[in-house]
Amino acid sequence: MPAAAALLLAACEAPKRTAGDAGGPLPVVKPRYVTEKVRHDTDDPAIWVNPADPAQSLILGTDKDADGALYVFDLQGRIIPEKTVRPLRRPNNVDLEYGFLLGGVPTDIAVVTERMSSMLRIYAVPDMRPVDGGGIPVFEGEAGPEHRDLMGIALYKQPATGEVYAIVGRKQGPQDGTYLWQYRLADAGGGRIGAVLVRKFGAYSGLKEIEAIAVDDSLGYVYYSDEQAGIRKYHADPARGNEELAFFGQEGFAEDHEGISLYAEPGGAGWLIVSDQGADRFRIYTRQGPPGQPHAHQLVRTVRVAARESDGSETIARPMGPDFPRGLFVAMSTDRTFHLYRWEDLAE
């Protein structure tokens, strides 16, 4: 079998069940690297894949404080000071999208929720140049307590049109199906990106908050953690409507449902990885359900990791150099670091 075919076959294998799935002890999966410590409080990572050399890719991670920052690391966890953005006013979550047309030039962008200013901050990657004109206000007009305190974000690129959307969450919000707001990002001229509100959607239990949001670009779905309740699923394209497609993972979590990431393989195969924050574990679900039940996401494995009380995670399902031959999983840890794992160590 050719080496490339063997690698693809290995990557497509399901995460193997362990004794822990039947209630026994779970072994602790160790990271390949742990990043250097940030100043205050790590929260959420994103991964920028270098198209010329994936081994030279970057990890972006928020440092959540009034004098916070968006840190940039290499794949060995070393801070790159000249790329790190500071100060930011309590940056919470970050997400990346590729090929946004800015001034007619395809530009990779990172979007950060700046909680204390109620604004989105946007940077061109990999040089980390600001392209937001100083920030984009969101949740304008909301007056409830903490209803403009930004939390989660996920970016969605519509495959047919190439339009890029930001789906944004906040610390608290209404229970009338409008907790999340979705904005279309647009070229505002002068090297700046603006945003236009296109819909409000998303059920909320009221139990705690909604922070972790993730988008499956190719299948067109958005997932978010309704903390202490479960994981909710909707269409990412606003033209598809606001019907809730699934509400799963409602049992088995020790405390909060937190960070969500996607190991997306060709043809719709792959896995959803969700943090069981209070137990230092991640629960792995099928990306799609069985035939005829595409929204029946099945739990296939629970993994215990060395990262502590993980809020956020990100996953890349492709070779990322010799250290990560089958993909990279990054998880935040409360010791002011991010942990970098080989995908095969989680799957096997």
Residues 6+ apart with CB under 8 A from 194: 133, 136, 185, 186, 187, 188
Q: Could you tell me if 79 and 71 are in contact, meaning their C-beta atoms sit under 8 angstroms apart?
A: yes
How would you list the strands of the sheet with 85-88, edge to edge?
42-48, 58-63, 68-73, 85-88
The CA-based dihedral angle spanning residues 217, 218, 219, 220, taken in that order and rounded to the nearest 10 degrees: 40
Q: In which order are the strands placed within the sheet that holds 328-333?
A: 33-34, 337-342, 328-333, 313-316
Q: What is the pLDDT of residues 2-27, one digit of tens each?
A: 333 333 333 445 565 544 444 567 89
pLDDT per residue rounded down to tens, the chain (348 residues): 333 333 333 344 556 554 444 456 789 999 999 999 999 999 999 999 999 999 999 999 999 999 999 999 999 999 999 999 999 999 999 999 999 999 999 999 999 999 999 999 999 999 999 999 999 999 999 999 999 999 999 999 999 999 999 999 999 999 999 999 999 999 999 999 999 999 999 999 999 999 999 999 999 999 999 999 999 999 999 999 999 999 999 999 988 899 999 999 999 999 999 999 989 999 999 999 999 999 999 999 999 999 999 989 999 999 999 999 999 999 999 999 999 999 999 988
What pLDDT digit, counting tens, does each position of 267-296 carry? 999 999 999 998 999 999 999 999 999 999
Q: Are 225 and 210 in contact (CB under 8 A)?
A: yes
Q: Model pTM?
A: 0.93
Distances (CA, A) of 260 to 167, 230, 287: 14, 12, 12
236, two tokens: 């990412």
**Phi, psi at residue 245, to the nearest 5°?**
-90, -30
Of the candidates 79, 87, 94, the residue with the CA atom closest to the CA atom of residue 48: 94
Beta-strand relationship, 192-201 and 180-189: antiparallel
